[in-house]
Structure 1
């Protein structure tokens, strides 16, 4: 798998991620959502450099102009609920993309340190021979990414797959690297060193869904 870790080069993205991590600034849920959205925009821009383009003739009021325009047929799929702001950021740049949404959450049994990924809601267009962008802001264990991709298989085989995350743990990055083929691309804002005993990214930023939309009742 091709890994594009944007933290390897300094950019304004550092500011967005630092504000999402900051325990004081992240209390502003609107700013938290906007920073995830802005990170999605940066990741979309960087990803766009790797996609396919075709020469097209454009008529201006004065003359014609030839420009290379994006020709990928994109389907953007985000994991609810934390993925919504990231989805919006990507869609701001890939505004002609088709859209898919899936709910995937951790279901804890007797031991709170162990869980399985439950997929329930899924809405998806045809994926056959298209460019699939699978977005989840937090790449912790990588299990949600894998469960989501497995759930999408009945909708067709994409021509190419791009994974997008804001923050990941090295363990999760390694896991998806082994599970996806070598032509898959991962676009990520930064990679942290480890997970804690509850499989949260350290230092990470906490629960992205709760910070964006408020705390949920545990079942």
Structure 2
């Protein structure tokens, strides 16, 4: 597994405001969109392209365009929806699927409750988006889900990650083509499975339920 942790002052600045407990939901949503757009540059570094020749106003030019089949962006519901706009800004022609996975607050294990994905993902580059990589359970389950449908190239984009979650994910996907892009790697998980220092429940803060 390849891991990229963003090291850019703009990302750190925006994450700092995102972490602040009094940042209101409208600002939180806007910051998430901006952060994901920044992270998407790294996440799409290896997006597949094919050669194409075009006419400029002056001459012909040998360039590239996104290859087919188009990549698919899969927000993990519900908090992943807040990241979708930031990804589609860079990949407007990508297909969008949805995967509903929630964490059991007692066992901390993921439970799949909804999906809207093609049955066959063979040959597709899959971009999974979810704000938080905590225990790793939700992302592991999501990656297994798309690999079972034929995906062979998966990139996960998260705003924050915990070392425990990264380690669990790396151990689980050993040997598979998986890339993880993080805005920051935080210190640890607390006894409730939340990232420390973290930013709280991303879904609640995105949609105003924490206010």
Q: TM-score, normalization: structure 2?
A: 0.90
Aligned partner of residue 115 in structure 1, secondary structure: coil
CA distance in 1, matches of 2:145, 2:64: 34
Q: Within 5 A, what are the aligned runs for 1:127-206?
A: 127-154=121-148, 156-182=149-175, 183-206=177-200
Say yes or no: does 1:103 pair with 2:100.
yes
Q: Within 5 A, what are the aligned runs for 1:23-42?
A: 23-24=21-22, 26=23, 28-42=24-38
Q: Within 5 A, what are the aligned runs for 1:115-134?
A: 115-125=108-118, 126-134=120-128
- After superposition, the CA RMSD in angstroms is 1.8
Would the alpha carbon gap of residues 167 and 68 (structure 1) be closer, same or farther in structure 2, given more than 3 Å must change? same
- 1:62, CA displacement in angstroms? 4.1
Aligned partner of residue 77 in structure 1, secondary structure: strand
Q: Deviations over 1:54-109 (max 9, x none)?
A: 3211223443322233326311111111101212211111111111111111223x
Which runs of 5 or more structure 2 residues have no equivalent in the other structure?
none
Task: Confirm or deny: 8 A CA contact 1:44 1:94 kept in the other structure.
Answer: no
Q: Deviations over 1:14-33 (max 9, x none)?
A: 12111101122x2x211111
Say yes or no: does 1:80 pair with 2:73.
no
Aligned residues: 207
- 1:50, CA displacement in angstroms? 2.4
4+ runs deviating over 6 angstroms: none
Aligned partner of residue 35 in structure 2, secondary structure: helix
Give the counterpart of 2:90 among 83, 88, 93: 93
Q: Deviations over 1:111-150 (max 9, x none)?
A: x4x3332111110023111101111110000100112233
Give the counterpart of 2:52 among 40, 43, 56: 56
Task: Confirm or deny: 8 A CA contact 2:109 2:138 kept in the other structure.
Answer: no
CA distance in 2, matches of 1:115, 1:54: 42
CA distance in 1, matches of 2:101, 2:43: 24
CA distance in 2, matches of 1:3, 1:121: 28
CA distance in 2, matches of 1:171, 1:14: 21
Aligned partner of residue 18 in structure 1, secondary structure: helix
Which runs of 5 or more structure 1 residues have no equivalent in the other structure?
none
Task: Confirm or deny: 8 A CA contact 1:57 1:64 kept in the other structure.
Answer: yes
Q: TM-score, normalization: structure 1?
A: 0.87
